[in-house]
Chains A and B, each alone.
Chain A
Amino acid sequence: MSYLNQPDYVCYVCNCGSLKPISKIYFCRHCSKIRCGYCVCQEVDSHYCPNCMENLPSSEVRLKKNKCSNCFKCPCCFQTLSTRAGHVPLRVVPADGEDSKDVKTTPKKVYYLSCSLCRWTSRDAGIPDQSMATGGWPEQENPHTSRINTLIDYHKILASIEKQQSERKKFRPKHPYMQIAMFRITSAMVRKHIGHPAKPTNESTDQPSPAVASTEVEELPTDIFTKPVEITKITTLEQRLQQPDVQTENVNELRPQHRQLLVRRSQRCRVCEHNLCKPDFCSQSAKFKIQLAAFYHVPEVRIVTCEPLRPGKSSELLLKFCNPTQHQTQVVLLPLDTPMTPILTLVDEKEEVKQDNAQQGSESPNLLPSIVRQVPVVEETKPIKITANADVVLPQNCLILPRRDDAAEYDDTGDTHNFQDDPKFVIWRKGNKAVIKLHVTPHENIEENNNQPVVIGFVMQYRYVNTITTLEHKAPQKLDLKVKLYLTIGNIVGSA
């Protein structure tokens, strides 16, 4: 799959307007539409630690503030710290701050944190060693936590007073939705509430002591004009921001931080709300529970070769088509200006569900009855950022591609299919793959030296058998779907 890393020569146009290679698009079987990372609804599926790979349920994630309790990162270089064991004489510090004479006892196994990259250790930072390998490392708490909690409680009370007032008196703030009004109301409530002699008991609990301003401010250290500075002892802004409530300037005061958890995402079709991609819960697994990559549903187009391109001159272009599905498909190439509405060609039963024109404007045929759905939020489609600058002669014939047969892949006995292919059009065929020949003519105005790549575009119409409907006790639908493709086929060599 090395071609996954190459520049995107063949791009499919998603329904949202994004241009993506086939490896990066999804196919929603419920809507029979192409979707991509831009236009699907992405959700956090599971949390895991990138270091110890532990999976955490979301309730615990919230409690642990999205951090792994076992893994720490280096406060200097942000690599994962490792726990080291060492033997030191156990020192017992006298309890009541009396005589600080150390009492030596037998050596004991102790643990400290160390960075293998920058050599930072918890010992350098003056963090006491731990007797357990698994932790017990001191946690730093924001020193202002209780003050902030008091302020939060106070504001909650204000809000509830306001709510009561508005319910009881049918009182409405003049501008109930803007922050200006909120403060006006809040302050009015403060005044009223404090000045109300009827409720003196609540006063002390409701109103936290207001902050006191001071004429004193932090002065510049006097030795700053004379003291030589060693830059390596001063933290960088990046290091400071790892611990926002401290933001220490002194390297020795940096403390190891818990490693942040990463998430696995799942993708959901925004129109029908079905999952398009859902990873396995186990973080070690690269498997997916649901994976509706377009790779398994939409014919793949690859560029085989292209003759040297000259402005205004026709060149041969060979494209390989591959049918990844379990059903035979037929591919028709149409000009770019073809309307993109899908056509329901066949229903394999008498009970015909005719797709009427009214539905063409809407996003998709609704294949899901009786499901409570939110009204999909519509995002404007992106303008397509690429334009074709070469003409391509599209064949009238349709190309039939047999179903994928994994067993036949290794069968060299030759194809048993007997298609009436036009040899000028189809020049090679094997199993579910075929190579076709097209003629492209780059526009006259492309010049060789401005490095403008030659781009062609066409609409690929392909037959798709929708087996999702069988789950709803309906016969499989056969749809003729369309997707726009843009192919970057090369650069101009020489002039006309």
Chain B
Amino acid sequence: MLRTYEGIRFFSDKQMVILDIGSAYTKFGYAGEPTPRGIIRTEIKCPDTKKLRRIYDYKDTEDLYQLLVEFLHALFFKHVVISPKDARIVILESLLVPTQFRDTLAKVLFRHFEIGSLMLLSTHLATISTLGVNSALVLDIGYKEATLIPIYEGEPILKAWQALPLGGQVVHELVKCFIFNWCFINSYFFNRYLMKSLREIYPNVDITEKLVEDIKVRTCFVTTLERSAKLGTADAPKPPPAIKYPGVKSINIPGEIREEAFEVLWERDNDNLSIPTMILNAIIQCPIDTRRTLAENILLIGGTAMAKGFASRLKSELLTLVKSSHYSEKLKIQTFMFHTAPSKPNYTAWLGGAIFGSVDLPLRCLTKENYLKSDRVPDWVSLIDNQRDESTVCET
């Protein structure tokens, strides 16, 4: 298609844009490139109130629509730097993305920005293309949640998917709790801290989400299973050194916060679930002949998986858990093996999109014409169950 006003332009030569709009950070860049062009916070200044707002904290569909318009405008013109009109876009989406979100996102992209085509890729599925294997157990630990889908011989075993509200956000809450109350009502730490809270010591320090994140990223780590078991008991190990934290008024981060902030990810909830049980429960729900392959092809992605000591803790938790009475009868697995993608875990899913986006897959793209005709995005989860008729197929 060409437009004649002011010269001839073809839209097909535009590079494919890859976007992974995470609940905390958005990864963006172009197909075929090994690194994202940038990683920015998924937030935008509200034009009316001038306050920063997270996109995922939307009130309703109308609010989300306006937030996405503002956010994507900044993304296209300040960061990705591309005219969105007629652009070809790949969006990585989580298994748990609400229909409201994906429908609104598609509407904003097609109706407001008039993009040319959209390819929606599942985060977990796209990720395995970074390995060159076709079976992997992909565990994504992001900001709001941890999600898992096993993929065997290129096919996702959907009945075995797992999701828990564990990720960066709960760690932030815990750090905040430490700072505000100093004693956290939690099995491990209850009654341990009867000293003053940081808030009492430093009443003038503004404890923002950003500061909490900074404390987490720069000072906290995932401790070993061995030490973790002793935390809160009589022979608790000596905490790691405290860190003097700079700022307008410097604050002191006690070693306890550093060591225990991530403990919330390993603690069993009321249903006895945690990050390691997600992996074991998923494997149990997979056919017997796939289990070993999956246990020996674990891939961890998402920003929270980058926490220091995360993978080694997960490994020891898994090895201990399989020996427990709950799992030892059901699972005959002794070894767990982990993959390393050619990327950092917080953008591995983006890289998967960048690899797929560089491949010509016209059948998988929802074109503007087809979107405008049907006015909706096909839902991949229900497609697996063959529940949808095929009338909305966007063929080329």
Real complex partners, A and B? yes
* Chain A contacts to B: CB under 8 angstroms: 38, 41-44, 47, 61-62, 65-66, 142, 144-145, 147-152, 154-156, 158-160, 163, 173, 175-184, 186-188, 190-191, 207-215, 217-221, 224-229, 231-232, 234-237, 240-241, 244-245, 247, 260-263, 265, 270, 273-275, 371-374, 377-380, 383
Give the distance to chain B from A55, nearest Cβ to Cβ, in Å.
14
Cβ–Cβ contact B5 & A231, under 8 A = no
Q: State whether A241 and B312 are in contact (beta carbons under 8 Å apart), knowing that A151-B129, A152-B359, A178-B380 are contacts in the complex.
A: no
B323 within 8 A of A: no
Within 8 A of A (CB), among B298-326: 298, 306, 308-309, 311-315
Contacts of B341 in A (CB 8 A): 211
Q: State whether A226 and B83 are in contact (beta carbons under 8 Å apart), knowing that A155-B129, A210-B131, A220-B222 are contacts in the complex.
A: no
CB contact between A66 and one of B25, B37, B245 (< 8 Å): that residue: B37
Give the distance to chain B from A77, nearest Cβ to Cβ, in Å.
14
Cβ–Cβ contact B363 & A173, under 8 A = yes
B338 within 8 A of A: yes
Q: State whether A178 and B364 are in contact (beta carbons under 8 Å apart), knowing that A244-B39, A380-B111 are contacts in the complex.
A: yes
Give the distance to chain A from B379, nearest Cβ to Cβ, in Å.
9
Cβ–Cβ contact B133 & A245, under 8 A = no
Q: Give B140-177 as 1s and 0s: 1 = Cβ < 8 Å from A's Cβ atoms.
A: 00000000000101111000000000000000000000
Q: What 10 new A-B contacts, CB under 8 Å, besides A62-B15, A179-B364, A244-B35? A: A41-B114, A42-B83, A44-B81, A156-B359, A177-B393, A241-B25, A241-B39, A244-B344, A247-B344, A371-B5
A378 to B375, CA, bound (A): 12
Give the distance to chain B from A226, nearest Cβ to Cβ, in Å.
7
CB contact between A42 and one of B27, B36, B73 (< 8 Å): that residue: B73
Cβ–Cβ contact A41 & B85, under 8 A = yes
Q: State whether A43 and B83 are in contact (beta carbons under 8 Å apart), knowing that A151-B132, A211-B133, A377-B372 are contacts in the complex.
A: yes
Q: Give B338-367 as 1s and 0s: 1 = Cβ < 8 Å from A's Cβ atoms.
A: 111111101100010001101111011010
* Chain B contacts to A: CB under 8 angstroms: 1-6, 15, 25, 27, 32-40, 62, 69, 73, 77-78, 81-85, 110-112, 114, 120-122, 125-126, 128-134, 151, 153-156, 213-214, 217-219, 221-224, 227, 237-238, 240-241, 243-246, 259, 296-298, 306, 308-309, 311-315, 335-344, 346-347, 351, 355-356, 358-361, 363-364, 366, 368, 372, 378, 380, 383-384, 390, 393-395
CB contact between B378 and one of A149, A178, A261, A373 (< 8 Å): that residue: A178
Ordered by A's residue number, 7 sampled pairs between the chains whose C-beta atoms are within 8 Å are A47-B81, A175-B390, A180-B155, A188-B154, A213-B339, A215-B338, A265-B77
Contacts of B35 in A (CB 8 A): 142, 244-245
Give the distance to chain B from A386, nearest Cβ to Cβ, in Å.
11
Q: State whether A183 and B337 are in contact (beta carbons under 8 Å apart), knowing that A42-B73, A42-B83, A263-B81 are contacts in the complex.
A: no
Cβ–Cβ contact A159 & B34, under 8 A = no
Contacts of A38 in B (CB 8 A): 69
Cβ–Cβ contact A231 & B218, under 8 A = yes
Contacts of A270 in B (CB 8 A): 114
Give the distance to chain B from A413, nearest Cβ to Cβ, in Å.
46
Q: State whether A214 and B120 are in contact (beta carbons under 8 Å apart), knowing that A176-B363, A220-B222 are contacts in the complex.
A: no
CB contact between B32 and one of A152, A190, A380 (< 8 Å): that residue: A152
CB contact between A217 and one of B73, B121, B311 (< 8 Å): that residue: B311
Contacts of A229 in B (CB 8 A): 219, 241, 243
Contacts of A158 in B (CB 8 A): 359
Q: State whether A179 and B312 are in contact (beta carbons under 8 Å apart), knowing that A217-B338, A231-B244 are contacts in the complex.
A: no
Cβ–Cβ contact B125 & A179, under 8 A = yes
Q: State whether A180 and B122 are in contact (beta carbons under 8 Å apart), knowing that A148-B355, A158-B359, A245-B344 are contacts in the complex.
A: yes
A232 to B311, CA, bound (A): 26
Query: Which 3 A-B residue pairs are closest in the complex by CB-CB distance?
Result: A187-B154, A144-B342, A220-B309
Contacts of A240 in B (CB 8 A): 217
Give the distance to chain B from A351, nearest Cβ to Cβ, in Å.
26
Cβ–Cβ contact B34 & A191, under 8 A = no
Cβ–Cβ contact A236 & B217, under 8 A = yes
Q: State whether A371 and B311 are in contact (beta carbons under 8 Å apart), knowing that A152-B359, A180-B125 are contacts in the complex.
A: no
A66 to B363, CA, bound (A): 30
Cβ–Cβ contact B134 & A190, under 8 A = yes
Cβ–Cβ contact A218 & B312, under 8 A = yes
Give the distance to chain A from B270, nearest Cβ to Cβ, in Å.
29
Cβ–Cβ contact A186 & B3, under 8 A = no
Cβ–Cβ contact A186 & B311, under 8 A = no
A264 to B354, CA, bound (A): 27
Cβ–Cβ contact B154 & A263, under 8 A = no
Give the distance to chain A from B309, nearest Cβ to Cβ, in Å.
4
Cβ–Cβ contact A179 & B380, under 8 A = yes
Cβ–Cβ contact B339 & A211, under 8 A = yes
CB contact between B355 and one of A142, A151, A160, A373 (< 8 Å): that residue: A151
Contacts of A217 in B (CB 8 A): 311-312, 314-315, 338
Cβ–Cβ contact A66 & B344, under 8 A = no
A177 to B120, CA, bound (A): 10
Cβ–Cβ contact B312 & A219, under 8 A = yes
Contacts of B34 in A (CB 8 A): 142, 144-145, 148-149, 245
Contacts of B129 in A (CB 8 A): 151, 155
Give the distance to chain A from B333, nearest Cβ to Cβ, in Å.
12
CB contact between A231 and one of B245, B298, B344 (< 8 Å): that residue: B245
Contacts of B27 in A (CB 8 A): 244
Cβ–Cβ contact A232 & B246, under 8 A = yes
Contacts of A371 in B (CB 8 A): 4-5
Name the residue on A nearest B110 (C-beta): A377
Name the residue on A nearest B365 (C-beta): A177
Q: State whether A244 and B36 are in contact (beta carbons under 8 Å apart), knowing that A219-B312, A237-B217 are contacts in the complex.
A: yes
Cβ–Cβ contact A263 & B311, under 8 A = no
Contacts of A234 in B (CB 8 A): 218-219
Name the residue on A nearest B119 (C-beta): A179
Name the residue on B nearest A38 (C-beta): B69
Name the residue on A nearest B215 (C-beta): A231
Q: State whether A372 and B4 are in contact (beta carbons under 8 Å apart), knowing that A229-B241, A245-B35 are contacts in the complex.
A: yes
A187 to B380, CA, bound (A): 18
Name the residue on A nearest B11 (C-beta): A374
A175 to B155, CA, bound (A): 13
A65 to B155, CA, bound (A): 35
Contacts of B393 in A (CB 8 A): 176-177
A236 to B346, CA, bound (A): 15
A65 to B383, CA, bound (A): 38
Q: State whether A208 and B132 are in contact (beta carbons under 8 Å apart), knowing that A218-B311, A220-B223 are contacts in the complex.
A: yes
Cβ–Cβ contact B217 & A245, under 8 A = no
Give the distance to chain A from B18, nearest Cβ to Cβ, in Å.
12
Contacts of A220 in B (CB 8 A): 221-224, 308-309, 312-313
CB contact between B337 and one of A215, A241, A263, A374 (< 8 Å): that residue: A215
Cβ–Cβ contact B132 & A213, under 8 A = no
CB contact between B3 and one of A152, A155, A221, A273 (< 8 Å): that residue: A273
Give the distance to chain A from B130, nearest Cβ to Cβ, in Å.
7
